[in-house]
Each structure stands twice: as structure tokens, then as C-alpha cells.
Structure 1
Amino acid sequence: MKLKYLIIAAAVSLMTSCDNFLEPESLSTFDTNYVFSNVDDARKGVNAIYSHFGQDAFRSRLSNNMTGNTDIERQSGWNSNGDRYQIWNLDALESNRDLEIVWTYAYRAIRDANIAIEGLLASGKLESSDLAEANTMNQLLGEAYTLRAYWYSMLTYYFGDVPYITEAPKAGNEFNQPKEDRNVILAAEIQNLIDAEAKMLWADQVPFGIEQVNREYTLGMIARLSLQRGGYYLQPDLNMARESDYLDYYQIAKDYTAKLISLKDRELPEDFRQIFMNQCTFQAPVNEDVLFEVPFAIGNGDVAWNIGVRVEGGPTAAHSFGSGNNYMSIPPTYYLSFDTLDIRRDVTCSLYKINTSFEYEFVNGGLDIGQGKWSRHFLPNPPGPSSAKGTGINWPMMRYSDVLLMYAEAENELNGPTAEAQEALKRVRRRAFDPQYWASRVDAYVSQVSAGKDTFFEAIVDERAWEFGGEMIRKYELIRWGIYSEKMAETVEGLKELADAAFNGTTQYPDYMYWKVDETGNFTILNPNRRVVAPPDDTWTQQSFLLALHSDQYTYQEWITKDWENHINGPKPGVVRYIFPMPASAIASSQGTLSNDGYGF
């Protein structure tokens, strides 16, 4: 059952909005007390927090559009001064509207979370003699804490130190709060989740399953936030650092992933593609891979509009699925990094698009590889020829495979590649290969990379790339690992090597690919992994692939040398300035409390 009402604006009517994120409209104590005095209205109060996922701040910004560029996703930011281009190019201004939208709605969500937290704590219902009431109220409290922690995690990734607001708005509050150390914020939010999770309910115990924050997701978020807190971060002097207590947070990540594995383990579904087909066909099974996904109602959500398989539609198209683009294409270095037997590659990397004739066609230019996990042409009911946004496809926030790999990473950091760490990695890889290949692709591979702590860590870095391509979490991982610039430089050099080999005729990989739509209507590529001199017959269409990386004018296509330039040679070469300036509107309304100091601004 799709949880539509969490995203609709009606929930917001309980909590008044405001122009200044710190300056609320009045909200009477009587109203708050009433809202959180009973389960039904308390549910509506917590729904107000979810409603902000339905705004562009999340559905097209934080969820996917603002998360490039990485070693597995890319978009050119240097060819426009538009807001999103500034973000892709890491040179955003204080006036950037996209950043202002994210800042504004993050603090609105935090405001509504604070109202719910205070209301629930003051309600007296958390210790109700009615067990069902007490369980529901404690579950709602955990949801509020977890959603607030998500938004603070994002704020610290994008802006560094930010105001840390934990009180509900009320008359007499000091609205102009200074910035707080991001480590203080993350540590406090982690502790709040630790305190709340034990009284939360599992996905199979709550009305809307994985379309509602549940105990599984909160346990996973404790681990994710702990790895963020224990990882590297950019300081105002443009140096990357990590705190001396970082191992304490790796221990928390290990403990809480282990807790989830112990209390609510599940086998990963065998069919990797079906995980995402479930989202495209509005299915949300519990006790499987997805722990929590943002529930978008039909008419909301931008999945398969600005991310996913490209679909060319419009009023004159021969189909009624509408139009969908893909803002974040996949570099060929990532496509070719997969083992050729890894079933995740062809799910993640789409080498086809759907044209206006509702036919398969090779992607534009040969290199516009799409995020293949979602497509509007998978929808059970065509939304209309002129449709674009609002597909209603949910967005995954965390999967169980993430928990297994976080456990493996944390265990390795603390104790090296133990048998437990190896088994967690094996569990993820087993799904990626047919059982006949497990001996070589799983057991032998994991044994080889387990020679030492460093090689096992590198294997985790690789595995997370192959497992979560297109799910747009790579940026945050590269940051906390402290290897963002290093990986960008590797990507550029890898693309140059592929271009040179293709141009010189020495490549073993496809300089051209040959494709067709077979008799059964399936899109087929003759040589997805290797170079062939010519196709066997004239039923195949030739498409330039790696040869398209070469440019007679520039040697390499401009995007190769420019897309990642500020990630490699920014204000401090070798360090990615991923922090952005706080919005000018927030600074202006702070009455001198906030300023964009440091980070070379």
C-alpha cells in the first residue's frame, strides 16, 4: 500500500510555515498539546516532517541532482552558469537558488521534527498503560528523530558547520543561532537515535512498511551517521581531517549493523533487477533488501524524470509514457570496471533509450550511459504522452546490502578482514553472480582481497560502487573516506587511457558497439565487453563507443578534462572543496550571526 499522504501538503497545515527558517509563526501550546495527545493526530504531526520530501529540495536535488560528480556518475557543470551547473562544477555562489531551497526546506523539516519531538515527549503517552498506544507513540518519536538526523547529515555534508536547532519554535526563543561544529551535531544526533531505536517498530509491524521510517532504517542510520562522524571532512582551511576518536564511531557502526543483522536478518533477494522494478511498479515488500524508501504519490517525485533510462515522448510520440531524461550519466570507466559476469552491470548501466516510436535505440552519442535501475516505461499504467515529472516512483534511502557492507567496512577498520567481515562481503557478491561462478567470483575473490586491511578496504570501495551505482550516495562515501580527489584523478586518467587505446587501435574493449532489436523485441548488443572488427551480418547497427572519447580538436572530449577539474585542481589541488557557501538569504536574516568564512569563499 503506497503511503501517499506522507508527502501531500495537507500535513503541513498542522505546522505553520515561515519565511525565515528560524523565525516561526506563533503556534499555541494548546494546539501542540492537542495534536500530540492522541495517536491519530500525532501521526499527522509527524507526517509534516515527511511532507518536505515532496519538495524540489529533496525529490530532484538531494536525492540525485546535487550528488555528482563522482567516479561513477558525471554531469558537465562548466558549460553554463545555471544553479545546478554551479553545484556540479563546485563553484556555487551565495545566490544559488538550489542551495537556498535545500537550506530552507532542511530547516523547515527540522522545525517540524522539533515540534513533534517536544510534543511527543510532553504528551505522557510514551509510557501509556495502553501498550499499543505507547508502542505507536515511541515509534513516532523515533521517526521524528531519524528524519531530523537525515537532514542534519545533509546540511553538514553541504555546508559544514551549521546552526543546530533542537527546540520547537516558540515565543522568546533566540532565533539567530550561530554555527555549531558539525562533529558536535552528528554526535548528538547519533546518540538520539541510539536512545530511540529500541522502542521503535520493525517494518513488518508498522502500517506502511518500508514507506515509513522503521527500526531497520534507524539502526542503519546510526551506522551511516557514525561512519560520517568517524570519517574525513573538509575544514575551513581546506585540509581534510578526521577526529582522534574516529574508531569509537566505527565501533558504533559495527555494533548497530551487527544488532540489525542479529535481530532482523534477511536473505538478499536473488533478483537484483526486481528491487528497482518493485519501485517502478509501486510494490514495497518488507523484510527484503530495501529498508526505507521515500513514498511519492502519483503526481509527485522526479524518479524516471531526471534520473533513469532516457525516454523520448511528447504529444506526437507513439507511446503514452511521457518524457524522462537522465541528468547523471555513467562514465565508461565505471561500466568497464564490472566483472563481465556481474549481473548488476546491465541493471545499473543502461546502454539503450526509448525513442518517440517506442523502440529501443542506443544511447545518444554512444556515451550517454543512463541509470538503468528506473524508467517511466516500466510504469504499470502510462501517465500520458505529455507527462514528465510526478511519476510516483519511490526513492530508496537505504538497502540491507548497505548494512552488510557497512558492517564489513567497520569490522575491517577495527580488526582487519576477519571471517565475519569476509562473510558480509560474500553475501553481497553472491547475489551479483550466478551460483556456478561463486567459487571464483565470490570465494576466491574475497580470499584474495582479504590479504590485508588495505586491500580489503579497497574491495569495499569497489563493491559499494558496483552495488549502489545510480543510487547517488557515492559522493558522501568518497568524502568520508578522504579519497574524493584521488578517485576523480583516477577516473580522468582512466578515460584518457581508454580514449588513447581506442584511437590507436590497441584496445581490447569495444571501440564500436554493434546493436539491434532482435525478433522478440529485445535490445541486444553483440560485443558489450570486447572489441570486434566487424559484425557477422548487416542486421547490426554500428555505434561508436570508446572511440567517441577521442576528439580530433582537443585530443579528448572536453567533458573528460573539465567535468572533474575542480575536484582535482580546485582552490587547493588534491582536495575537493565540496562545501558550499550558505545562502545569502540565510546570512542576511541572521542579523550578523552567520557568515561565509573559510573554505576560500
Structure 2
Amino acid sequence: MAKAAIMGIYGKMTDTYIYGQKLSVNWQGVSDIETNSGFSTTGYNSTSSDSGAGNFYDDPYNQTTKWQTLYEFAELASTAVDGIRNSPILETRAAEMKPLLGEALTLRAMAYSELVKFWGDVPFKREASKSDLTNVYMGKTDRDSIYAGLVEDLTEAVNYLPWLKSNAEYSTSERISKAFAKGLLAKIALYAGGWSLRDGNLFPNADVEHHPTIQEENGYYVGRVKNWRDYYQIAAQQTAEILGSSAHPHALDPSYENIWKTVCNLQQNTYNENLFEVAFGLGNNGDIGSLMGYEVAGNTKYGSRGFGGSYVASQAYYFYSFDRDDSRRDVTLSWTSYASTNKETMKTDALNVSFAKWRIYWMSPSYLALHKTANSRIATGVNWILMRYSDIYLMFAEAQSKLTSPDAVNNVAGMSPRQALEKVRERAFGAGSLKIKQYDADFFNAIVNERAWEFGCESIRKGDLCRWGLLYEKIEAMKKTLCLMLDNKVPVTIFDKTYQPSDFPQTIYYKFKDAEFIDQKSINFYTNLGASPGTEYQSASWFTKSIVKPTSGTSMTYLDTPTRVLLAATGINKGYDYSGFLSSMTNGGEIQANLAQYTMGNKNCNYRQFFSIYYEDIFESRGYLTNSYGY
């Protein structure tokens, strides 16, 4: 019975409003590397869609940002925890029951950590609901207390859980094992010690430090706990214990591409890089790949329906943030798509670069057979990877470097933060590459950049930016730099790289490597060629040329494109003024006039990272709940 209850909780995670779609796709939102359903002048500030919520606009009547299913997930886990704790066989059959208790505690921590990530302070209890409802109706618990409770639960859980493959019961990454629980404990600790928007009206006596540069508005401010170093110590210790242990089978897959080929093909990773995957069933649940990934048009050899798309996509700024020799770049992103002519075509839209970790030609034969005859979307069955081993290296590097220094060796891990960072970079560039050690001199900036390159479209970046206090700053840097790239008259800095206007080509030349696919290595992404390299090459106008103001005609692309960029994510802060920035651009006055017709800003507070609580949940709370942050 206990195992069946745990399996039921795993099944719940596949719900659309959990990892089936919302947490894996729709709620990734806008960051400096991801866009939410593209850049738009219409849906960007919708308060009835995921698109608007991704741009940080929301309201209590938005049915797409409800927490109900996550609370059902938490309740199932709490029921399992209570049931196992009260079981008469907990001690007599401890080898069987305590790992199940560890799973239940970890699953509950997952549920509440997601609730805090998306709503901030929320109702929190560490017991199942009582039949008389005496513990059901409650107000918000401050997030610091919630995080403290989750840390306590996970500290207990890791002692019960076995390492992956240490016994037959825990032989797959679709079950929670010790390394994932320790990794989750580390991640929650980093969030607990990080920055977030707080309601000083509801919790006026919180013992926290205020962010030095993000301005408080209407009692809402960005803060973090004063003992944040204690949480970083937890993160450093937990990740060090994983890195320093020989008892588990986890390692980096030598091929970054193979991680995604394997998961698309419904297989387990040979190197056990994936610490935990949410398990889906082909044809039953999960939209991983079908709503974001390598773009395939309809009416191809794969079937009448398309694949991939722009629910989550990227842009030229992120592409050019990569080093040209970084093997992750062309796995993560694709400027090509598969057309109805059954061959690739070159895309040139700087605002719509596809994420490509999920590709139709990597999918399992069984999925391809279903897709070929489908007249509606088929659940891919592709698992959602919640944590990879590279995250352990990078969390260790981040936490330990803040506590000591980048070069101080941690005896438990057997390495320094710098060595951990370079271990991840070694896979990206290949053993012996000089570029392994070529990164930002500021080690924290190096971590910020590396996590962007390693985890694009994995629903990690926005949360990282939030806890670092960099959400607004990094998104604005992306938007302004993207506009300057389109204007193409001044040097731009993208992460740790500086590009001159001449570094971006006016015309792209490319050739096919076979009848279907473009040779990625043939494309002159970084060189402005004067003429075609050969007769076998085709060409297309690059984004630097495609939005130049026309000398005749009625095209408004030169105005609409930068306007769409600047409207993105404008629900974060109270207000926006781009007049000073636009004054330096070629058509800045016209862009400013065009931009003036649109609404920007939430009018209430800065750094509004959270969703609104749905009105029905407030109504049914019997007066215990109200919205914060101006909702």
C-alpha cells in the first residue's frame, strides 16, 4: 500500500498543471535567454494567458496560473508521509519503508518549493488535511519558515534514500534516489539564501536585509535572510558530498548532445547524468518536445502535423552569447527548421531562434509511427529532466566560492569551485582546449554565464536570475543589446563577449550536407563575406539587414521589431522609460513614438516575479488569503 501511494504521487506529477506542461513549458517565462511564446505587441500584457504571465503580467482571474494542482500534489505527499510515519511496520521493515518515506518527504518538498517559486509566501503545512478541516483554512506562511521546513524534511530524507542503482528497486532515474534529494536540498538552500520580492505589509517584522539597489514600492521590497551564508553552507556541503562520493553511478555524459538524443528516444542515460526524470508515457501524457524544440512544419514525411514550436524559444542575443566552439550552442539552439519540402530552411528572425534539445529525428520509432498518422497532438512520452549532474558541479562552484574562494579546495568534494566549473566547460569544449579556462574574470559572473549556456530551456534560468537579484537587470540587458544588434552601428557586449558591428554579417551563406540538412559549419555567423563562397551555397539576408528602414514601401518592420523587444517582460517593474536609450538609435524617435501607444509596467512594485493567487482560492479561504504585490 505504501509503495502504491508513492507511485500515485509520481503519477500526479504528470498533470498538465505540474510537469506535464506548466512547469516544464508554459511557466518558464521570459528570461535573458528564453522567451514566452515569442515577442509580441498584443499578448505580451494579457492577464488571461500564459503568454502574459510569462511577461510578468497576471491578475486573480487568470485561469492559466492556478495553484490548485500543485496543492493536490503536496497533499498526496503529506498523506503518504503521515501514513508511513504512523505505520506499525516502519521500523520492523525499515529497509523497505524508510526509503519510501524519503521519497514522500522529497516529493512534498518539490511541491512546496514550486509553490514558493511561483507565488512567494503561501499556505504551508507538514501534515495531511484533517477530516474536520481544522488545519485546512490558513493564511500565508512566510517563505523563510517554509524553506526552513523543507530543508529539515530533506535533511531527514537523504538519510533514508539509497543511491541510484544500489538496489533493484531504485534502478532508474524515474525514481527519487539519494543524489537527487541531496541536489534538491542544495537547490532549495540556494533559493532560501537568495533574493526575492517580499510583502512588507503582510510581514513587517521579517528579519531580512533589503536589496541595495532595487527600490521598495508600496511596502514591497526585494530582500534575503541575514543568515544566507548558512544556507549556502548547506548547498556546498550537499553537493560536495555527491561529488566526493564513489558510491553512486552519476557522471557527466561525455557528449552534451547524447543527453538529449537519449531522452528523446525514451531511453535512460548510460552515464546516469540525469539525477531525476519525471516519467511520462508515450501517447498518454507529456508535451516535452512537441511545444518547444526543433521546428518542423506540417505536411512533411513525418506527418501532417508539425512538431516543436515557440511556446518557449530564444533569440540572437543568447545565440551570440555562446563561444563559437562551444558544443552546447548547436545542440541547444537552431536557426534552421524542417520545411514541408522535406528539407531544412534557414531562419533569419533574430527574435525567434528555436530551442533544439528535442528534435523529431531523435524521437523513438514508436512516437514517429504515431505522429505520422496523427491529426492532433500526440503526447511524446519524453521525460522531463529535473536535475542533471552538471547542476551539482555548478551549484557547488557557486555556493563554495561565496563561502571561501574560487580556488580553495573543499576536502569533501576533492576539488575547488574553479575545478568544478572547468569540469563542465571541459565537456563543452573538449579535453585540452584552451577555452576551458577562458571565462569571465569575476567568478560569480562566470557562474551566471555558465548556467545560462548549460541549462537553456530547462526551466532553470528565470529562477536563477530571481534568486541572484538579477531578474530585471539581465532581461533589460538582453532587450537593449538585442535592439542595438538590430541597429548594428555600435559595439555590443553579450555576457563576456564584445562584438563590433562588422562581426555580424549582412548576408548568410550556407550549403547542404545532404539532400535534407544544412551543414551548420558552413554558415558564416561571425563573418561578413563580400560574396558567396561557392556555387553550392545559398544565401539569405541576416537580421542586421532585414529590418533596415526601407526607402520606399510601407513596411514597418524597422519599428515593430524593436518595439516588440522592448515590450517584453515589462510586467516586472512599476514603470519603464526607454526614451534615453532610444535617443542613441538610428530610428529611435520613431520607435519611441511607436512604443508610446503601449502599456508598460505593473504600476505597483518593482521585481514582481510572482503570479497572482486565483480569485476562487481567495474566496474559498474564508478570509485567510489576500493577494500581494498590487494584484
The reply to whether TM is greater than 0.5 is: yes
RMSD: 2.2
2:505–2:529 contact (8 Å) kept in structure 1:
yes
Q: Does 1:388 align with 2:371?
A: no
Pick closer, same or farther for the CA change 1:465–1:176 going to 2, 3 Å.
Answer: same
Tell me how far apart the structure 2 counterparts of residues 567 and 163 of structure 1 sit (CA, whole Å). Answer: 24
Pick closer, same or farther for the CA change 1:250–1:506 going to 2, 3 Å.
Answer: closer
- Aligned ranges for residues 251-262 of structure 1 at < 5 Å? 251-262=233-244
Q: Does 1:71 align with 2:5?
A: no
Deviates more, 1:242-251 or 1:381-390: 381-390
What residue in structure 2 maps to residue 442 of structure 1?
Answer: 436
What residue in structure 1 maps to residue 12 of structure 2?
Answer: 52
Tell me how far apart the structure 2 counterparts of residues 126 and 364 of structure 1 sit (CA, whole Å). Answer: 60
Pick closer, same or farther for the CA change 1:161–1:77 going to 2, 3 Å.
Answer: farther
Pick closer, same or farther for the CA change 1:395–1:550 going to 2, 3 Å.
Answer: same
Gaps of 5+ in 2: 200-218, 409-415, 492-499, 550-555, 577-600
Pick closer, same or farther for the CA change 1:227–1:538 going to 2, 3 Å.
Answer: same
What residue in structure 1 maps to residue 69 of structure 2?
Answer: 105
Pick closer, same or farther for the CA change 1:405–1:167 going to 2, 3 Å.
Answer: same
1:429–1:442 contact (8 Å) kept in structure 2:
yes
What residue in structure 1 maps to residue 23 of structure 2?
Answer: 62
Q: Does 1:589 align with 2:578?
A: no
Tell me how far apart the structure 2 counterparts of residues 336 and 582 of structure 1 sit (CA, whole Å). Answer: 37
1:502–1:546 contact (8 Å) kept in structure 2:
no
Q: Select which of 446, 454, 458 maps to 1:471.
A: 458
Tell me how far apart the structure 2 counterparts of residues 542 and 564 of structure 1 sit (CA, whole Å). Answer: 33
Deviates more, 1:582-591 or 1:494-503: 494-503
What residue in structure 1 maps to residue 97 of structure 2?
Answer: 137
What residue in structure 1 maps to residue 508 of structure 2?
Answer: 513
Aligned residue type for 2:507: Y
Q: How far apart are residue 45 of structure 1 and its match?
A: 0.4
Q: Deviations over 1:448-486 (max 9, x none)?
A: 72xxxxx10000000000111121210000000001111
Q: Deviations over 1:501-543 (max 9, x none)?
A: 1799943123332233223643224213332233223433322
What residue in structure 1 maps to residue 224 of structure 2?
Answer: 242
Q: Deviations over 1:248-277 (max 9, x none)?
A: 000000010011112237441211100011
Aligned residue type for 1:292: F
Q: Select which of 533, 541, 545 maps to 2:538.
A: 541
Tell me how far apart the structure 2 counterparts of residues 139 and 588 of structure 1 sit (CA, whole Å). Answer: 39
What residue in structure 2 maps to residue 576 of structure 1?
Answer: 607
Pick closer, same or farther for the CA change 1:125–1:493 going to 2, 3 Å.
Answer: same
Identity of aligned residues (%): 30
Tell me how far apart the structure 1 counterparts of residues 9 and 456 of structure 2 sit (CA, whole Å). Answer: 28
Pick closer, same or farther for the CA change 1:417–1:372 going to 2, 3 Å.
Answer: same
Pick closer, same or farther for the CA change 1:460–1:366 going to 2, 3 Å.
Answer: closer
When the two structures are superposed, what TM-score results if normalisation uses the length of structure 2?
A: 0.82
What residue in structure 2 maps to residue 494 of structure 1?
Answer: 481
1:366–1:543 contact (8 Å) kept in structure 2:
no
Tell me how far apart the structure 1 counterparts of residues 542 and 604 of structure 2 sit (CA, whole Å). Answer: 31
What residue in structure 2 maps to residue 336 of structure 1?
Answer: 320
2:229–2:403 contact (8 Å) kept in structure 1:
yes
What residue in structure 1 maps to residue 296 of structure 2?
Answer: 311
Tell me how far apart the structure 2 counterparts of residues 196 and 529 of structure 1 sit (CA, whole Å). Answer: 50
What residue in structure 2 maps to residue 23 of structure 1?
Answer: none
Tell me how far apart the structure 2 counterparts of residues 231 and 572 of structure 1 sit (CA, whole Å). Answer: 25
Tell me how far apart the structure 1 counterparts of residues 602 and 181 of structure 2 sit (CA, whole Å). Answer: 37
Q: Does 1:223 align with 2:186?
A: yes
The DSSP-based 3-state class of the residue aligned with 1:63 is coil
Q: Deviations over 1:160-203 (max 9, x none)?
A: 11100222123223221111001111110111100121220122
Q: Deviations over 1:402-424 (max 9, x none)?
A: 01000000011111212411111
Tell me how far apart the structure 2 counterparts of residues 44 and 286 of structure 1 sit (CA, whole Å). Answer: 28
2:343–2:517 contact (8 Å) kept in structure 1:
no
Q: Does 1:118 align with 2:82?
A: yes
Tell me how far apart the structure 1 counterparts of residues 513 and 350 of structure 2 sit (CA, whole Å). Answer: 19
Aligned residue type for 1:560: V
Aligned residue type for 1:248: D
Pick closer, same or farther for the CA change 1:380–1:548 going to 2, 3 Å.
Answer: farther
What residue in structure 1 maps to residue 138 of structure 2?
Answer: 177
Q: Does 1:212 align with 2:195?
A: no
The DSSP-based 3-state class of the residue aligned with 1:188 is helix
What residue in structure 2 maps to residue 599 of structure 1?
Answer: 629
The DSSP-based 3-state class of the residue aligned with 2:385 is strand
Q: How far apart are residue 323 of structure 1 and its match?
A: 2.1
Higher relative helix content: 1
When the two structures are superposed, what TM-score results if normalisation uses the length of structure 1?
A: 0.86
What residue in structure 1 maps to residue 422 of structure 2?
Answer: 426
Pick closer, same or farther for the CA change 1:267–1:47 going to 2, 3 Å.
Answer: closer
Tell me how far apart the structure 2 counterparts of residues 188 and 510 of structure 1 sit (CA, whole Å). Answer: 53
Q: How far apart are residue 558 of structure 1 and its match?
A: 2.6
1:350–1:370 contact (8 Å) kept in structure 2:
yes
Q: Select which of 413, 437, 462 maps to 2:402.
A: 413
Q: Does 1:85 align with 2:85?
A: no
Tell me how far apart the structure 2 counterparts of residues 405 and 229 of structure 1 sit (CA, whole Å). Answer: 17
Deviates more, 1:172-181 or 1:74-83: 74-83
Q: Select which of 351, 370, 373 maps to 2:335.
A: 351
Q: Does 1:397 align with 2:358?
A: no
Tell me how far apart the structure 1 counterparts of residues 60 and 250 of structure 2 sit (CA, whole Å). Answer: 46
Q: Select which of 323, 327, 345 maps to 1:361.
A: 345
Q: How far apart are residue 380 of structure 1 and its match?
A: 2.4
What residue in structure 1 maps to residue 596 of structure 2?
Answer: none
Aligned residue type for 1:397: L
Q: Deviations over 1:345-375 (max 9, x none)?
A: 0100111112233322223746421111112
The DSSP-based 3-state class of the residue aligned with 2:259 is helix
